[in-house]
Structure 1
Amino acid sequence: MNSDESPPRVALKEITPQVSAAMGALHAAAVSAAGEAKVEPELLELIRIRASQINGCAFCLDMHTKDARAKGETEQRVHALNAWRETPFFTERERAALALAEAVTQVHDGHVPDAVYREVAGVFDEAQVAALIWAATVINAYNRIAIATRMKPGNYQPVQK
């Protein structure tokens, strides 16, 4: 192994299958709550992509950009997501959700500001806000798992429906 290569990392699913299953159940519960609250699956993908961009998670970026495109998201919006504030491509609801996702992801930079919360609460009901917070929380946890274990991007393919 040269100095540019990482040592093999722990296989979490194999070593701690019960925790991995619990994480999967948390993800499924968050997706279910979002569906019940009528939060669009496409919006959830935008949140997942944006948090993964901030965290630098190549595996999750590969997965969620593919999932977003499979759900009908445009290349233009996916490519512009890193600069969503400077584009006209996102709706008021999407902008509020993205601001919340960024604040949750960067909570170490001053918590979730009241202005961000007021903005999201102005365009989403309480169940939807809860679903957005869960979506951001779950993807941040998955980002940390993928980064810590050096999950390799490139092989993921969206499930065809």
Structure 2
Amino acid sequence: MEPRLNFFKHGPAAMSAMVALEKQCGASGLEKPLMELVRLRASQINGCAYCINTHTADARNAGESEQRLAEVAVWNESKNFSVRERAALEWTESLTQIADSHVPDHVWERVEPHFAPNELVDLTLLVNTINAWNRFAIAFRKLPA
């Protein structure tokens, strides 16, 4: 596979908007390790090699263990994630696969008790932002280094 287009070079205004979204995500009160798990799981679902590579490394740097990183893809079968992390990962999957799930009430009912209202907005922005990054990287074939 060959890269198609350098979207940073050819879309500086669009990338500036994406970077602003990232800054907003970073300014949220969400825990850094949780944010990296969310980014990694969405990237796994979307099949974004570049983002999986990036967010696996970022998660390691945030203190994630190799075992938890290996189990993100099967978080619902693992006992190594907290209730809050499990809720965030379920929210991530439902939003990432929104055409299939339309974020059903049972997902909301499992997620909502574990996050303050502003955190739910921040988590949703995070999921949407990584999904947007995945789509740029996949569409233009951005490859891991």
TM-score range, shorter chain: over 0.9
Matched, 1:91 2:86: no
1:47 partnered with 2:42 = no
Match of 1:104 among 95, 99, 104: 95
Q: Which residue of 1 aligns with 2:138?
A: 147
Match of 1:16 in 2: 11
- Cα distance between partner residues in 2 of 1:83 and 1:110: 18
Once the two structures are aligned, what percentage of the paired residues are identical?
44
CA-CA distance at 1:111 after TM superposition: 0.7
Aligned length: 145
Question: Partner of 2:112: helix, strand, or coil?
Answer: helix
Give the Cα separation in 2 of the matches to 1:19 and 1:65: 25
The aligned residue for residue 51 of structure 2 is: 60
Cα deviation 1:14-63 (Å, max 9, x = unaligned): 1111111111111111221x23xxx2110000000000000000000000
Cα shift readout 1:64-91 (whole Å, capped 9, x = no counterpart): 0000000100000000110111111001
Tell me how far apart the structure 1 counterparts of residues 74 and 47 of structure 2 sit (CA, whole Å): 15
Distance 2:60 2:122 in 1: 22
Unpaired segments of 5 or more residues in structure 1? 156-161
Q: Is 2:18 aligned against 1:27?
A: no
Question: SS in structure 2 opposite 1:52?
Answer: helix
After superposition, residues 126-137 of structure 1 pair within 5 angstroms as: 126-137=117-128
Deviates more, 1:129-138 or 1:8-17: 8-17
Runs of at least 4 residues off by over 2 Å: none
The residue matched to 1:68 in structure 2 has which SS?
helix
Match of 1:159 in 2: none
Unpaired runs of at least 5, structure 2:
none
Higher relative contact order (CA 8 A, sep 6+): 2
Residue 5 of structure 2 contacts residue 141 of structure 2 at CA under 8 Å; is this kept in 1?
no
1:81 maps to 2:68? no
Amino acid of the structure 2 residue aligned with 1:117: W
Quick check: which has more Rg, 1 or 2? 1
